[in-house]
Structure 1
Amino acid sequence: MEGGGMRGWYTAGVLSVFTNNKITFPVVYGISAGSINALSYISGQSTEESIRVLIKYTDDKRVLSTENFDKTGSAFGFDFMFGEMFHKITPFDYKKFFESPVRMEAGTTDMETGKAKFFGKEDMDDSFTVIRASCSLPMISNIVHFKGYNLMDGGYSQPIPIERSIEEGNGRNIIVLTREASYRKSMKPEIDSPTLHKNYGEYPAFIKDVLHRPQVYNNELKLCADLEKAGRAIAIRPSQPIKIGRCENNPEILWKIYQLGIRDCTALLPKIYAFLKA
Structure 2
Amino acid sequence: MSKYGLVLEGGGLRSAYTAGILNWFIDHDVHFDFVAGVSSGALLAVPFVTRNRQAIKDLATIHAASKENVGLHPLLKEGNFVGYNYLIDKVVPNQLKLSVDEVRNAPTPFEMGVYDIYASKTFWMRNTEMDDHWKFLQAALTLPIAGRAVKIKGRKYMDAGVNCMIPTKRSIANGCDKHVIITTKPKDFVRKDNHPALQLLLDLIYFKYPILKREFRERTGVFNDEIALAERLEKENNAIFLRPTKNLGIKRFSGDLDQLVHLYELGYQQMETEKERMLDFMKK
Same fold (TM over 0.5): yes
Residue number among 4, 8, 11 corresponding to 1:4 in the alignment: 11
Taking structure 1 as reference, are residues 50 and 94 closer, same or farther at Cα in structure 2, changes over 3 Å only? same
Report the counterpart of residue 44 of structure 1 in structure 2. 51
User: How do 1:89-168 and structure 2 match up within 5 A?
Assistant: 89-146=95-152, 149-168=155-174
State the distance in 2 between where 1:274 and 1:2 align: 23
Deviation at 1:258, TM superposition (A): 0.5
After superposition, what is the alpha-carbon deviation per residue over 1:178-215, rounded to whole angstroms, capped at 9, x for unaligned?
11123231244586332122111011111111111111
1:29 counterpart = 2:36: yes
Unaligned regions of 5+ residues in structure 1, if any?
A: none
Kept in 2, the 8 Å contact 1:28–1:103? The answer is yes
Deviation at 1:22, TM superposition (A): 1.2
1:56 counterpart = 2:49: no
| Letter of the 2:112 counterpart | A
Report the counterpart of residue 21 of structure 2 in structure 1. 14
CA RMSD of aligned residues (A): 2.2
Unaligned regions of 5+ residues in structure 2, if any?
A: 1-7
Report the counterpart of residue 279 of structure 2 in structure 1. 273
Kept in 2, the 8 Å contact 1:179–1:238? The answer is yes
User: How do 1:215-234 and structure 2 match up within 5 A?
Assistant: 215-234=221-240
Residue number among 205, 214, 218 corresponding to 1:212 in the alignment: 218
Deviation at 1:176, TM superposition (A): 0.9
State the distance in 1 between where 2:114 and 2:195 align: 19
- TM-score by structure 2 length? 0.89
Deviation at 1:242, TM superposition (A): 4.3
State the distance in 2 between where 1:195 and 1:176 align: 31
| Letter of the 1:3 counterpart | G
Taking structure 1 as reference, are residues 93 and 219 closer, same or farther at Cα in structure 2, changes over 3 Å only? same
State the distance in 1 between where 2:194 and 2:71 align: 26
Taking structure 1 as reference, are residues 157 and 252 closer, same or farther at Cα in structure 2, changes over 3 Å only? same
State the distance in 2 between where 1:104 and 1:22 align: 18
Deviation at 1:43, TM superposition (A): 1.6
